[in-house]
Every structure is written in structure tokens, then in C-alpha cells.
Amino acid sequence: MRKLSVEKKTSILSCLVEGTGINATARICSVSKLTVLRLLADVGSLCRDYHDLMVQNLNCRRIECDEIWSFVGCKQRNKNLGKTGDGDCWTWVALDADSKLVVSYLVGLRDSGHAFEFIHDVASRIENRIQLTTDGLRLYVEAIEDAFGGGIDYAMLVKLYGKEDRAGEARYSPAKCIGCKPFTIVGKPNPNCISTSYIERQNLTVRMQNRRFTRLTNAFSKKWANHEHAIALHYFYYNFCRKHQSIGTTPAVAAGITEKVWTIHDFVNLLVDEENKLAMGGRINKKDRK
């Protein structure tokens, strides 16, 4: 990727973070599809490393967790029928309700193994006692007990749905939510703060700004690795570059992780510096990356 100019890399990434597909990005930026995918792989790896390095030692008060469904290659029911593909793919996400920072994310399956890995990663990034809210997925209970023990105030918010209507176009929509019921699992969570509203709104942001999550199109991911890279890029952009309307700055600034609002151009310069450092056998340290 060192042959591409900084301006060309900036143009490609600007398209990707705004929800433009791979083929469309290649046409807009006058590059090949392979070039876009190679840059996405390089950037995705750097975004993942940057997140692991910088999003640490947090002092959060309220965390909300949820999972976002997508698929790679084909949907699970088609995979079961013999179609080629990885099937269902879930992105586990933890959001700080105050700074709107995405504390942790994990691409995987909706099973106990990934639940444990995800919750342990959340716990490793936070220094203080928190209040945590999840949906009614039972996989969270044992994972949170194993990661936090009794040092957490944890509640589930279980949604209640009405009768599902499968007639006509309604088959693409979930059943109507008619209410929700909170359940205290561990500690003494504040009833007024038991909510998953912020993380659910963040899930909408993912679907609006990542083309791979667009429903009823052929823009879905074809390879698992590319899906992971695209998600890593999205959450880097969300945390460090995109100003959140409710707080007036980026989540990373609000959380005290960085002192400035990043731009895509800034990140491309970081990518170039990283490539140069790797070529010389070194890496950029945390101080340099602020």
C-alpha cells in the first residue's frame, strides 16, 4: 500500500467510513477492487491494534452491551442447506453511556465462548466498579460472573414483544415491542440507569455507515477477515473521528483517551508512519499516537 499517495488513501477510506461499498469505492477513486481490499486489510489491522493500545484504564460509570447480527457469504439457513459461506456473524459491542465510547467489540458467534471472551475484554479495560445493562441473552450471566465476580452492578432489560406479523413486507421487520422488564442480576444497579437505548442507537449507526450491514442487498461480506477489518475501521472512525451530536466531540475526546478530534488524513499519516516504522523494525508507541 506504500505505492498509493496519502491523498488517494484518504479518499478511499473516506468512502468506506461513509457506507460506500467496495466496488463503488473502487470506481469513485479510480483504483482496483483489490487495491481497496488490501488497504482495508492494512487499515483494519492497525485500527484493531490502536484500539487495544489506547482504549485502556477507563473510568466508566455505565456500560451497555448488545450484539449486532450480520452474515458472511450466506445466511445460516442457506449454509445449512449446503450453500458456500460462513453463515451468521455477530458483533458484540460494549458502549459507555456517558462518553458514547465503544469500549470493546468482538466479531464471532453468538455462543458462550465468544460471550466469555467479550466480557473479559470489557472487564480488562475498566478500572472502577460499573453498572452494566444487557438484553435478556442468558449467555451474559455466567460470563459476567466469571469476569467481574461481585464487583459490578448488573441488570438485564428483557423486551416484551407482541404477536409477530409475517404478512407482506412485515416479514422483514421484528415483532412490535410492547414493553420491557428490568431484572437485577448482581449488585444494586440504579433503576433509572437500566437501559440499552444508547447501544441500540449505536447499532443503527453501524447499519447506516457500514455497507456490509445493509439489508436486502448484495453488499454483505464474502470473507470473514474482510468483515472484521471493516468493523475495526468503523469503530476507529466512530471513536476517534466522528463527532457525536449529543456530546459535541468524539467519544475518544470525551473519554479522555486523546486530546484532539482525528481526521481520516491524520489516520492515513499514522498508517504511513507505522509502515515506515515496521520497515525499520520498530513500532509507534502510545505517546506518539496521541
**Span 160-192, pLDDT tens digits:** 777 765 555 545 566 777 778 899 999 999 999
Asked if the structure places residue 1 within a domain, the reply is no
Asked if the structure places residue 143 within a domain, the reply is yes
Report the predicted TM-score, pTM, of the whole model to 2 decimal places. 0.90
Mean pLDDT value of segment 129-143:
96
Beta bridge partners of 87: 72
Asked if the structure places residue 89 within a domain, the reply is yes
pLDDT at 69 over 80: yes
37-47 pLDDT, tens digit per residue, is: 999 999 999 99
Task: Return mean pLDDT, the chain.
Answer: 91
Question: Which has the closest alpha carbon to 118: 67, 186, 49, 159?
Answer: 67
Asked if the structure places residue 122 within a domain, the reply is yes
Res. 277 pLDDT band, cuts 50 70 90: confident
Mean pLDDT value of segment 56-79:
96
Asked if the structure places residue 194 within a domain, the reply is yes
Asked if the structure places residue 155 within a domain, the reply is yes
Window from 49-58, 67-76, 281-290 with minimum mean pLDDT: 281-290
Window from 69-73, 166-170, 278-282 with minimum mean pLDDT: 166-170
- What pLDDT does residue 274 have? 83
Structural domain count, the chain: 1
Asked if the structure places residue 136 within a domain, the reply is yes
Helices (H), ranges, the chain:
6-17, 22-29, 33-54, 76-80, 112-125, 139-148, 197-209, 224-236, 251-254, 264-279, 286-289
Residue 24: CA count within 13 A, CB half-sphere: 12
Asked if the structure places residue 228 within a domain, the reply is yes
Q: Which domain holds residue 194?
A: 6-289
Mean pLDDT value of segment 190-206:
95
Mean pLDDT value of segment 50-73:
96
Question: Which has the closest alpha carbon to 198: 103, 124, 119?
Answer: 103
pLDDT at 197 over 70: yes
User: How far, CA to CA in Å, does 17 sit from each of 43, 99, 103, 209?
Assistant: 12, 21, 19, 6
Mean pLDDT value of segment 109-133:
97
pLDDT at 278 over 90: no
CA pair distance 208, 195, nearest whole angstrom: 22
Tell me how many degrees the CA angle 20-24-30 measures, rounded to the nearest 5: 120
